[in-house]
Structure formats: C-alpha cells, structure tokens
C-alpha cells in the first residue's frame, strides 16, 4: 500500500513528488502520457517575479513570485537564467519613467520590509536609441524603456526530466502512459484504479492519500462512481506562437502592446533562433484538451501586426503553436484566476492542487506537503541527494 499517489507529471505533480521525498515520503506518480505534456511543457517559460505585479499593487503576489524564483535558482540553477524584460515607454502614457521609478522605489521598500529574495539582476532604464537597436518597435512617442529581470527556463522538458530524476532519487516511482480512471472509496478515499494505455490492462493502487495535480483534468473522472465531484475549472486556452523571424538578442524579452505604452502586453523572446511570441488567451469552456484553431493563430498574428506595424507577420512564419489550459473563475474561461487552489471535495484522503502559474506551482506543493507531513522534514542538496535536516 502506498502512502501517497500523485496524479500528473507536470510542474505541479513533480514538485509535489519532490516535496514528498524531501519529507521521507515515497510517492507513486501517475502520468497519462509523457512528462510535461500539458500546460507545463507548453508554457511561455518565464518564472515571473518583477515589477509587473507592483503595477497593480499586488504585493502578496510579488513576494510569492520572488520566493518562487529563489526556489528555481537554488534547486535548478543550470536550468534557468535571468531574462531582461524590456517595456518600451511612450510620451503621454501611464507607463512612464516616473511611474517606473515609483514602482522601483516601492520594490526596494518591500524588499526591506518583507525580507524578500533579491531579483535575479537589477532593474533599470534604456534610452530611445537603445530600444530601437534591440527591436523595431513603433517609434512615434517612444522615449525609452524600463526593464526588470525575471527568469526563463532554458529547456522546459529538460527541467521536468531533472525534477523527475530527483524525485526518483528520493524513492518516488513515476509511471508514464497510465491513465487514472476512478477513485477507490468507502468512508474515505482508499486509492484509485488506472489503465495502462500501452497494454490496455487495468489495475488498482491502494493509498492513504491521492493528490490530484492534473491541471485542466484535476477533479474530473470518467468512472460513474466518482462523477459529481466538485472540481475547479480550467477553461482558458493559453497559447504561444514560435515564429521563423529574427528574434531580439538572447536573454531579452520585449513587451509590446496594440496601443503603444498601454493595454495588454505580449512578450517576444528568442527560442532556438526564432521568436517565441505570447501569451495569447481565449475562452474554451467545456474543454479538457488544449487545442488551437486556425482562427486562433490568425487572431494572434493580427494582434502582433497591430503591436509591430513595421513587421510582416505571415501565417507561413508560424513554425509551431504551443498551448495549455489555465484555471478560470467560473467555467466560462473569460476571467482567469491568479490564486493557487487546494481543494478537498471528498474530505481527507483526496486533494486537488491547482496553480495558476508555472511560477508558484512549487510553492503550492511545498505548502501542501507541510500540512500533510509537518513532522517529516528533510532537505535536498543541489544534486538531489536527500540529507537529514
């Protein structure tokens, strides 16, 4: 009998497995396909934590994101690197040098008061000419740019493989191509049934605890005995375009908007010598799989043409589209939620853990692990070898 079964082999499930083994628990991780086949492997790949959250005075989210950046830098320094996020500033717009200076001052104050981890590198400003040398943004009204540093994943797949290796080193068992079909219940959850998608064979696993980290499918079960479980919804489709165009210099992400200096921003950064543009969103109610349409691609290209009218964005330039489903507030997909959620719709024994961002998924996992196993604390070295705390 297993102590805990974790459903999902993305960033949430694997960080939950790492948090478990760091406390001496040996979980079984079940993934219906390969590692990171959902939103984790298809995200834009930024670990946020910069000034963007202070623009809306969301101090709690800023502080949590800074802690998340430290988690990645301490545990996987070879898989992340600083990313310079450049936001062009335009005369007469809310995004101005004065507003940026005020936000930076607030950040320094928060760093002192909350003892927040430092940013990967310092923030600053750029001149108009420096911005234009970086990328052909609209020139009318351009007065310069502000920049801050987040983290970018060097290779999401490689990171997830490394996380899986560390979990295995601590005693976790990771089963791929296994689909969870239903929960085993009497007065409480006692495990689950699953199907091997390769052999089409069925088996049961008995466990004291089941932690559902399946993202868009968390809380949803095909078996009649588990239908009707109150589950969160992930009805917002998020997608990115990989464009065969000359990108900004490596290590830079450029924020562009349809109305220069205001409104919704998209980021452009280098990936494999091309431009990764995103993230684009649309409601996708009632869906479980992240599928984009030709209309989605054309909508994204149309937005980019408005952001950067000096460039031609053609359909033939799109070399790949990556997509995932993100949590929303009510199942319509219109409004995403920024809160990480821990639900227990069936009481003790069954937990749903759902993060709104790749950034904070590890913190959500560690928080749940601390509640489930408060007395079992170990620490892990950079190589993933467990040591007594």
d(CA 293, CA 15): 32
Angle, vertex CA 108, rays to CA 279 and CA 269, nearest 5: 25
Tell me if the bond preceding 294 is cis, omega within 30° of 0.
no
What's the predicted TM-score (pTM) here?
0.90
Look up the CATH number of the domain holding residue 211: 3.50.50.60
What's the pLDDT score for residue 385? Answer: 42
Residue 291 lies in a domain: no
3-class SS at 284? Answer: coil
Q: What is the DSSP string of 290-346?
A: ----HHHHHHHHHHHHHH-TTS---GGGEEEEEEEEE-BSSSSSSSB--S-EEE-TT
Position 386 pLDDT exceeds 70: no
Of the candidates 159, 55, 68, the residue with the CA atom closest to the CA atom of residue 120: 68
Residue 116 lies in a domain: no
What's the pLDDT score for residue 259? Answer: 92
* Summary mean pLDDT of the chain: 89
In this structure, of 8-12, 225-229, 298-302, the range with the lowest mean pLDDT score is 225-229
Residues 6+ apart with CB under 8 A from 372: 4, 209, 351
Q: What is the DSSP string of 65-96?
A: HHHHHHHHHHH-TTTEEEEEEEEEEETTSSS-
E-strand stretches of 105-219: 124-126, 142-153, 173-175, 178-185, 189-196, 202-212
Higher pLDDT, 246 or 110: 246
Range 311-323 average pLDDT: 95
Residue 214 lies in a domain: yes
Tokens standing for residue 298: 């054309």
Q: How many percent of the chain have pLDDT more than 70?
A: 94
Higher pLDDT, 52 or 209: 209
Give CA separation, 350 vs 155, 212, 339, 388, in Å. Answer: 32, 8, 20, 29
Position 387 pLDDT exceeds 80: no
Position 114 pLDDT exceeds 60: yes
Range of the domain at 221: 2-40+157-229+337-383
Helix (H) or strand (E) holding 29: strand 28-30
What pLDDT digit, counting tens, does each position of 181-190 carry?
A: 999 988 788 8
Range 357-371 average pLDDT: 93
pLDDT band of residue 309 (cuts 50, 70, 90) is: very high
What pLDDT digit, counting tens, does each position of 151-206 carry?
A: 999 999 999 999 999 999 999 999 999 999 999 988 788 899 999 999 999 999 99
- For the chain, the farthest-separated pair of C-alpha atoms sits apart, in whole angstroms, at 68
Q: What are phi and psi of 326, to 5 degrees?
A: -115, 155
What's the pLDDT score for residue 116? Answer: 84
Residue 137 lies in a domain: no
> How far from chain centre, in Å, is Cα 265?
18
Contact indicator for 191, 204 with CB cutoff of 8 Å? yes
pLDDT band of residue 48 (cuts 50, 70, 90) is: confident
Position 210 pLDDT exceeds 60: yes
Position 270 pLDDT exceeds 70: yes
Residue 378 lies in a domain: yes
What's the pLDDT score for residue 383? Answer: 45
Residues 6+ apart with CB under 8 A from 209: 3, 4, 5, 189, 349, 350, 351, 372
Position 226 pLDDT exceeds 90: no
Give CA separation, 69 vs 26, 43, 72, 121, 387, in Å. Answer: 26, 16, 5, 12, 23
Range 207-222 average pLDDT: 91
Q: How many percent of the chain have pLDDT more than 90?
A: 64
Of the candidates 49, 340, 90, 120, the residue with the CA atom closest to the CA atom of residue 213: 340
Crossing angle, helix 11-21 and helix 361-372, to 10 degrees?
40
Residue 31 lies in a domain: yes
Q: How many domains does the chain have?
A: 1
Residue 35 lies in a domain: yes
Position 56 pLDDT exceeds 50: yes
d(CA 130, CA 204): 61
> How far from chain centre, in Å, is Cα 82?
16
Higher pLDDT, 286 or 21: 21
What's the pLDDT score for residue 109? Answer: 86
d(CA 11, CA 292): 22
d(CA 145, CA 253): 12
Position 382 pLDDT exceeds 60: no
Residue 313 lies in a domain: no
d(CA 8, CA 179): 10
What's the pLDDT score for residue 378? Answer: 55
Strand 142-153 to strand 80-90: parallel, antiparallel, or no bridges (unpaired)? antiparallel
What's the pLDDT score for residue 6? Answer: 97
What's the pLDDT score for residue 227? Answer: 58
Range 119-137 average pLDDT: 93
């Amino acid at each position: 009998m297993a102590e805990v079964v974790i459903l999902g082999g993305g960033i949430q499930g694997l960080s939950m497995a790492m948090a478990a083994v760091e406390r001496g628990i040996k979980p079984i991780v079940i993934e219906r396909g390969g590692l990171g086949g959902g939103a984790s492997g298809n995200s834009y790949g930024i670990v946020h934590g910069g000034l963007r959250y202070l623009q809306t005075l969301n101090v709690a989210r800023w502080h949590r994101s800074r802690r998340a950046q430290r988690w990645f830098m301490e545990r996987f320094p070879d898989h992340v690197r600083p990313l310079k996020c450049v936001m062009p500033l335009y005369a007469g717009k809310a995004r101005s040098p004065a507003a940026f200076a005020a936000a930076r001052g607030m950040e320094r104050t928060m760093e002192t008061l909350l003892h927040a981890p430092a940013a990967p590198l310092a923030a600053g400003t750029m001149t108009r000419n420096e911005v234009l040398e970086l990328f052909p943004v609209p020139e009318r009204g351009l007065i310069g740019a502000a920049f801050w540093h987040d983290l970018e994943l060097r290779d999401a797949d490689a990171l997830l493989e490394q996380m899986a290796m560390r979990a295995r080193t601590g005693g976790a068992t990771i089963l791929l191509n296994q689909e969870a079909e239903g929960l085993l219940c009497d007065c409480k959850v006692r495990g689950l049934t699953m199907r091997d998608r390769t052999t089409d064979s069925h088996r049961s696993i008995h466990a004291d605890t089941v932690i559902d980290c399946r993202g868009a499918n968390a809380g949803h079960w095909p078996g009649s005995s588990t239908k009707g479980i109150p589950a969160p919804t992930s009805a917002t489709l998020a997608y990115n375009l990989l464009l065969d165009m000359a990108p900004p210099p490596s290590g830079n992400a450029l924020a562009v908007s349809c109305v220069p200096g205001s409104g919704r921003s998209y980021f452009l950064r280098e990936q494999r010598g091309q431009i990764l543009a995103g993230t684009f969103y649309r409601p996708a109610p009632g869906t479980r799989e992240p599928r984009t349409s030709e209309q989605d691609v054309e909508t994204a290209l149309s937005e980019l043409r408005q952001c950067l009218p000096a460039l031609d964005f053609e359909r033939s330039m799109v070399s790949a589209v990556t997509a995932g489903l993100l949590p929303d507030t009510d199942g319509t997909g219109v409004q995403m939620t920024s809160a990480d959620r821990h639900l227990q719709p069936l009481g003790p024994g069954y937990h749903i853990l759902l993060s709104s961002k790749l950034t904070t998924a590890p913190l959500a996992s560690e928080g749940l692990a601390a509640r489930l196993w408060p007395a079992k604390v170990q620490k892990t070295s950079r190589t993933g070898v467990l040591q007594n705390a």
